[in-house]
Amino acid sequence: MTPFADLLERLVFTPGRLAKLALLRDYFTHTPDPDRGYALAAIAGDLSFTAAKPAMIRQIATDRVDPTLFAWSYDYVGDLAETVALIWPGSREGQAPRLSEVVAILSETPKSDLPAVLAGWMDVCDASARLALLKLITGGLRVGASARLAKIALGEMAGVAADDIEEVWHGLAPPYGPLFDWLSGRAAKPDAAGAPVFRPTMLAHPLEEADAAALDWAGYRAEWKWDGIRVQLVATAQGRRLYTRTAEDISHGFPEILAAMDFHGVLDGELLVMRDGEVAPFGDLQQRLNRKSPGPKMLKDFPAGVRLYDILFDGDDDLRGLTFDDRRVRLEDWYARHQPPRMDLSALIPFAGQEDLAALRFGARAASIEGLMLKRGDSPYLAGRPKGPWWKWKRAPLTIDAVLMYAQRGHGRRSSIYSDYTFGLWRKDGMLVPVGKAYSGITDQELAFIDRWVRGHTIARFGPVREVEKSLVLEIAFDAAQTSNRHKSGVALRFPRISRIRTDKPAEEADKLDSLIARIPASGVAKGETLEEEG
Amino acid sequence: MTAPHPDTWLRVLPQGLYCEPGDFFIDPLRSVAHAVITHGHSDHARPGHGSVLATEATLAIMRVRMGEGRAGETQQALDYHTPLTHQGVDITLVPAGHVLGSAQIVLDWQGSRAVVSGDYKRQRDPTCAPFEPVTCDVFVTEATFGFPVFRHPDPAHEIAKLLKSLTIFPDRTHIVGAYSLGKAQRVIALLREAGWERPIFIHGALTALCALYEAHGVPLGPLLPATGASKDDLKGAIVIAPPAAAADRWSRRMNDPLIARASGWMRVRQRAKMAGVELPLVISDHADWDDLLRTVEETRAPEVWVTHGAEEALIHALSLRQIRGRALSLIGYEDEETSSEEEAEA
Ligand SMILES: [Zn+2]
Ligand SMILES: [Zn+2]
């Protein structure tokens, strides 16, 4: 339990991705089986207990501590499990249980015996291990690392690609003995034959001007880049799965898609909310993504569909070695044969040269279109992000001139710099209202300039946040604007980033909120936060 | 004749805790004619007093921190365990185990005894003399960590975390934010005990105090100034700096810095998160909850006055033990670990 607890503790406070990877590698390298397998399960969200309720852990604590002192302490700490972990009086000499021991005993302990078992463990654990234990058994464990990150760390440790781990992952269960046997060289790669496992996806690079100039346009095929999320549909005799491009299994959230997958194969496409073949704004899809299991109303109001653009397997036939053009023929043939409901084909856009596509890209203003995809006709389906075969050519962003309102210190490398900015636009009544937050887009020099500016123009402080004089104008680029009932302004921006510092512009000449609202497409309510960009 | 209760001769005035028959203040909050000082932290040792009585080490610390002229017009050094009679009051200094030179002030007057402990801790500390409990009628205590959630782990365990981190991140500069008087030297001494023999880099604010510790017989091993060291020198090195400097731009020129912080507050996640540190180390120079209660018990005092901190919880816990508790609510003391932000910015 202790090494696992120490790992969790460090992950909580470690913002950097590379640093998290180093911590995970160190843990997986030095922790024996099957403990590390259960730790991996905890990170992947495959290990959860709900045996203990909060009332129970409060009870075992107040059995030992004066209730008044407990109440004040809880008030001070603010988290029940943490309060119990810290307040637990003096520990007994002894060895903290191993994670695998905890898992084994929890699975066979009747509920009535749990308080005594738990208290016995708590006595021999240190505060970090007590906290990890309490979070684990109440189902409240939050790990500061994703399953994907853990797989990358495992891959680095064993010298295999994380994507190779993904290929076998969904055929395995905690504590993943065959996986660790393979990674330690004790056994061959586990055979996922027949299981509906994830296949590593092929990703695109953004097309910059220099790339565009050098491109052999005739060798490429073009498709619209739809503003949904990239998914992989896997159906075999053993089951059906819907995965994100990072191998997250989102099958449960989209039962109607699963129901439509009456085939045997692996397909690649864009998950969208579609009404009568019309693609709804991303915010509509976000509503669905926020729900683990949607109700009938949700299914009716936000109907999901998939726009297919590639085929990886037709039955057991692995097509990934074929060229894009050949796969496209197979995809069209497959589609004609199956005609699966809720799915259509991503159309190829005919074009004669770069000018044609540039015009199309410029003209595309529908919120559901992010730009164009360019795929080389003779390229096989390659895992990862090889440079050259696939490009994403996003349409030029929209911009607004907004006023900096608040600045917050960043994380990691930027923890001493004010690098997270809240900006606002003018409302009709002359009030400045925040419309979004941005923390990227500018150079280190520009960052240093804003940091200095913030320190010199602070008018109030709230913890890590500084409110500044409303006088610095920032040009903000964004991909789309949507109405939002979560923001005071009623507007949410998709992918906002700072494109320029407008020291030349007086704050009162910054944009009006109304002019932003005017750019919102007619339908769609954006409620949640935007997702990481797919593709 | 029964001895007078300490509350008849030890009073709380706006300037601080006042011993009436002796006509002096203990750790006064503003400048006074006569002051007895427990230790050199700036909330206890303030500038501009007339006469100052303290241990030799505390006086030396005061001179280094405030400059010769401001550390009292006249200074009188008093050794531990050497009573001094002043206007009928016996004053004895007894080690408090908090920082170098820190003392409890034991006051005896007409058969009545009060002990003003200042800040103290019970954990082992290689840089100062250990706390000694003194039996008394009234024990005056701090309660910085006066909640039962504060139980400081063995500092050697925390230092091991730091050294382990250096094996996982052998290239990153590990910057430990530690208060410049006491905590910094203790962390250095603990690192030496744990076998870290390489030079330790220190922020300029620590130079004089580290030299002072060395001069008082506390070996700290090889120390180098962090300012001016190259990125290469600092690769995989340990740097000790005041917390605010560690967290701010000062640290940015280091090699992919990893910010640690040594403080008792690091025990609570939310506090550690707010401090923005990557490696919290629970190392404190104040007594934790168990040690506050143990200490009160060892003094056998029937009555306890709490100067500052979380007095409510401590007084409640004392009442459960049939000990009378009283909150002095002295405004102006704060533990150096929360006030350090200001220190490093000044
Ligand atoms: Zn102090
Ligand atoms: Zn203090």
**Complete domains list, chain A, with CATH:** 2-138 (1.10.3260.10), 205-394 (3.30.470.30), 398-534 (2.40.50.140)
Of B80, B79, B61, the closest CA to residue B71 belongs to: B61
Cα–Cα distance measured from residue B191 to residue A285, given in angstroms and rounded to the nearest whole number: 54
- Residue A414 has a pLDDT of 58
Lowest mean pLDDT among A58-67, A113-122, A412-421, B207-216: A412-421
Q: Is A467 on the interface with B (CB under 8 A)?
A: no
Q: Is B1 on the interface with A (CB under 8 A)?
A: no
Please determine, for residue A507, whether its predicted confidence score (pLDDT) is greater than 70: yes
Please compute the mean of the pLDDT values over residues A485-490 and round it to a whole number: 76
- Residue B1 has a pLDDT of 61
Which residues constitute the domain of residue B123?
A: 6-149+285-327
Contact between B168 and A23 using a beta-carbon 8 Å cutoff: yes
The distance of Cα B235 from the centroid of its chain, to the nearest Å, equals 31
Contact between A87 and B149 using a beta-carbon 8 Å cutoff: yes
H runs (alpha helix) in chain B = 56-66, 155-168, 183-193, 207-215, 243-247, 269-274, 289-299, 311-320, 336-345
Contact between A416 and B320 using a beta-carbon 8 Å cutoff: no
pLDDT tens by residue, A49-80: 877 888 999 999 999 999 999 999 998 888 89
Q: Is B314 on the interface with A (CB under 8 A)?
A: no
Using CA coordinates, name the residue in chain B closest to A86.
B149
User: What residues form DSSP beta bridges with A497?
Assistant: A477
What is the Å distance from ligand 1's center to B27 Cα? 11
Among B144, B145, B149, the strongest candidate for a mutation testing the A interface, having the largest count of A CBs within 10 A, is B149
In a 13 Å sphere around the CA of A356, the CA atoms on its Cβ side amount to 10
Residue A169 vs residues A34, A177, A193, B229: alpha-carbon distances, Å: 16, 12, 12, 47
Using CA coordinates, name the residue in chain B closest to A25.
B168
Asked if B268 and B127 touch (Cβ cutoff 8 Å), the reply is no
Asked if A201 and A387 touch (Cβ cutoff 8 Å), the reply is no
Of A393, A392, A418, the closest CA to residue A405 belongs to: A418
Q: Is B320 on the interface with A (CB under 8 A)?
A: yes
**Residues B16, B145: one domain?**
yes
Paired tokens of A80: 């029940």
Residue A350 vs residues A217, A220, A346, A373: alpha-carbon distances, Å: 12, 11, 13, 13
Cα–Cα distance measured from residue B220 to residue B185, given in angstroms and rounded to the nearest whole number: 7
Cα–Cα distance measured from residue A9 to residue A82, given in angstroms and rounded to the nearest whole number: 12
H runs (alpha helix) in A125-264 = 127-137, 147-158, 162-169, 177-183, 209-214, 255-260
Contact between B280 and A78 using a beta-carbon 8 Å cutoff: no
- Domain with B310 in it: what CATH number? 3.60.15.10
Cα–Cα distance measured from residue A163 to residue A312, given in angstroms and rounded to the nearest whole number: 15
Under DSSP, is residue A354 helix (H, G, I), strand (E, B) or coil?
helix
User: What residues form DSSP beta bridges with B24?
Assistant: B19
- Residue A208 has a pLDDT of 83
User: What residues form DSSP beta bridges with A512?
Assistant: A426
Asked if B118 and B27 touch (Cβ cutoff 8 Å), the reply is yes
Residue B69 vs residues B24, B41, B47, B72, B76: alpha-carbon distances, Å: 20, 18, 9, 7, 14
Does some domain include residue B267? yes
Cα–Cα distance measured from residue B110 to residue B2, given in angstroms and rounded to the nearest whole number: 9
Contact between A86 and B267 using a beta-carbon 8 Å cutoff: yes
Contact between B268 and A77 using a beta-carbon 8 Å cutoff: yes
- Domain with B223 in it: what CATH number? 3.40.50
Cα–Cα distance measured from residue A273 to residue A267, given in angstroms and rounded to the nearest whole number: 18
Please compute the mean of the pLDDT values over residues A135-164 and round it to a whole number: 90
* Closest by Cβ to B148, choosing from A65, A127, A415: A65
**Residues B97, B75: one domain?**
yes
Could you give the maximum distance between any two Cα atoms of chain B, in Å?
73
- Residue A290 has a pLDDT of 77
- Residue A36 has a pLDDT of 97
**Residues B145, B289: one domain?**
yes
Paired tokens of A192: 């996922």
In this structure, the strands spanning B34-36 and B24-26 are parallel
A477 or B201, which is more confident? B201
* Closest by Cβ to B149, choosing from A83, A90, A126: A83
**Residues B173, B231: one domain?**
yes
Using CA coordinates, name the residue in chain A closest to B255.
A413
Please compute the mean of the pLDDT values over residues A20-27 and round it to a whole number: 97
**Residues B109, B198: one domain?**
no
Q: Is B14 on the interface with A (CB under 8 A)?
A: no
Paired tokens of A459: 């008018």
All residues of chain A having their beta carbon less than 8 Å from the beta carbon of residue B310 are 76
Does some domain include residue B334? no
**Residues B15, B139: one domain?**
yes
Please determine, for residue A358, whether its predicted confidence score (pLDDT) is greater than 90: no
Among A2, A416, A454, A455, the strongest candidate for a mutation testing the B interface, having the largest count of B CBs within 10 A, is A416
All residues of chain A having their beta carbon less than 8 Å from the beta carbon of residue B155 are none
Contact between B313 and A73 using a beta-carbon 8 Å cutoff: yes
**Residues B17, B129: one domain?**
yes
DSSP per-residue string spanning A98-164: PHHHHHHHHHH--GGGHHHHHHHHHHHS-HHHHHHHHHHHTT----SS-HHHHHHHHHHHHTS-HHH
Asked if A93 and A123 touch (Cβ cutoff 8 Å), the reply is no
All residues of chain A having their beta carbon less than 8 Å from the beta carbon of residue B276 are 409, 415, 464
CA distance, residue B252 to nearest chain A CA (Å): 8
Does some domain include residue B290? yes
Asked if B37 and B96 touch (Cβ cutoff 8 Å), the reply is no
Please compute the mean of the pLDDT values over residues A414-422 and round it to a whole number: 79
Provide CB contacts within 8 A for A63, sequence distance 6+.
none
Number of other CB atoms surrounding residue A189 within 10 Å: 15
Does some domain include residue B342? no
**Residues B138, B16: one domain?**
yes
Cα–Cα distance measured from residue A199 to residue A29, given in angstroms and rounded to the nearest whole number: 26
Does some domain include residue B333? no
Cα–Cα distance measured from residue B219 to residue B11, given in angstroms and rounded to the nearest whole number: 40
> At residue A471, what are phi and psi to the nearest 5 degrees?
-140, 0
Lowest mean pLDDT among A183-197, A503-517, B301-315: A503-517
Does some domain include residue B344? no
**Residues B24, B145: one domain?**
yes
Contact between B148 and A87 using a beta-carbon 8 Å cutoff: yes
Cα–Cα distance measured from residue A314 to residue A323, given in angstroms and rounded to the nearest whole number: 15
* Closest by Cβ to B147, choosing from A6, A73, A90: A73
Q: Is A22 on the interface with B (CB under 8 A)?
A: yes
Under DSSP, is residue A501 helix (H, G, I), strand (E, B) or coil?
strand
**Residues B304, B265: one domain?**
no
- Residue B223 has a pLDDT of 98
Contact between B270 and A83 using a beta-carbon 8 Å cutoff: no
For chain B, how far is it from start to end, CA to CA, in angstroms? 53
Please determine, for residue A519, whether its predicted confidence score (pLDDT) is greater than 80: no
Does some domain include residue B332? no
**Model confidence at A209, in pLDDT bands (50, 70, 90)?**
confident
For chain A, how far is it from start to end, CA to CA, in angstroms? 38
Number of other CB atoms surrounding residue B322 within 10 Å: 7
Please compute the mean of the pLDDT values over residues A187-207 and round it to a whole number: 88
All residues of chain B having their beta carbon less than 8 Å from the beta carbon of residue A77 are 149, 268, 270
What is the Å distance from ligand 1's center to B45 Cα? 9
Q: What sign does the dihedral A522-A523-A526-A527 (CA atoms) show?
A: positive
Paired tokens of B97: 């185990």
- Residue A535 has a pLDDT of 35
pLDDT tens by residue, A220-258: 999 999 988 999 999 999 899 999 988 888 999 999 999
* Closest by Cβ to A126, choosing from B153, B252, B270: B153
Interchain CB contacts (distance < 8 Å): A and B:
83
Q: Is A78 on the interface with B (CB under 8 A)?
A: yes
Contact between A26 and B168 using a beta-carbon 8 Å cutoff: yes
In a 13 Å sphere around the CA of B208, the CA atoms on its Cβ side amount to 9
Task: Report yes or no for ipTM above 0.90.
Answer: yes
Asked if A157 and A32 touch (Cβ cutoff 8 Å), the reply is no
What is the Å distance from ligand 1's center to B335 Cα? 6
- Residue A518 has a pLDDT of 76
Please compute the mean of the pLDDT values over residues A115-144 and round it to a whole number: 91
Asked if B207 and B148 touch (Cβ cutoff 8 Å), the reply is no
Cα–Cα distance measured from residue B275 to residue B266, given in angstroms and rounded to the nearest whole number: 9
Please compute the mean of the pLDDT values over residues A268-273 and round it to a whole number: 96
Number of domains comprising chain B: 2
All residues of chain A having their beta carbon less than 8 Å from the beta carbon of residue B169 are 19, 22
Asked if B39 and B118 touch (Cβ cutoff 8 Å), the reply is yes
- Residue A443 has a pLDDT of 76
DSSP per-residue string spanning A498-509: EEEE-TTS-GGG
Does some domain include residue B338? no
**Residues B190, B247: one domain?**
yes
- Residue B309 has a pLDDT of 82
All residues of chain A having their beta carbon less than 8 Å from the beta carbon of residue B150 are 86
**Residues B38, B143: one domain?**
yes
- Residue A524 has a pLDDT of 40
Highest mean pLDDT among A91-95, A169-173, B19-23, B272-276: B19-23
Residue-level length of chain A: 535
Q: Is A106 on the interface with B (CB under 8 A)?
A: no
Cα–Cα distance measured from residue B341 to residue B242, given in angstroms and rounded to the nearest whole number: 8
Number of other CB atoms surrounding residue B165 within 10 Å: 22
Question: From first to last of its 346 residues, what are the pLDDT tens digits of chain B?
Answer: 689 999 999 999 999 999 999 999 999 999 999 999 999 999 999 999 999 999 999 999 999 999 888 999 999 999 999 999 999 999 999 999 999 999 999 999 999 999 999 999 999 999 999 999 999 999 999 999 999 999 999 999 999 999 999 999 999 999 999 999 999 999 999 999 999 999 999 999 999 999 999 999 999 999 999 988 998 999 999 999 999 888 777 777 787 899 999 999 999 988 888 788 999 999 999 999 999 999 999 999 999 999 988 889 999 999 999 999 999 977 777 666 654 433 332 2
With a CB-CB cutoff of 8 Å, which residues 140-199 of chain A face chain B?
A: none
Please compute the mean of the pLDDT values over residues A165-176 and round it to a whole number: 89
Using CA coordinates, name the residue in chain B closest to A409.
B276
In this structure, the strands spanning B238-241 and B200-202 are parallel
Paired tokens of A348: 């190829």
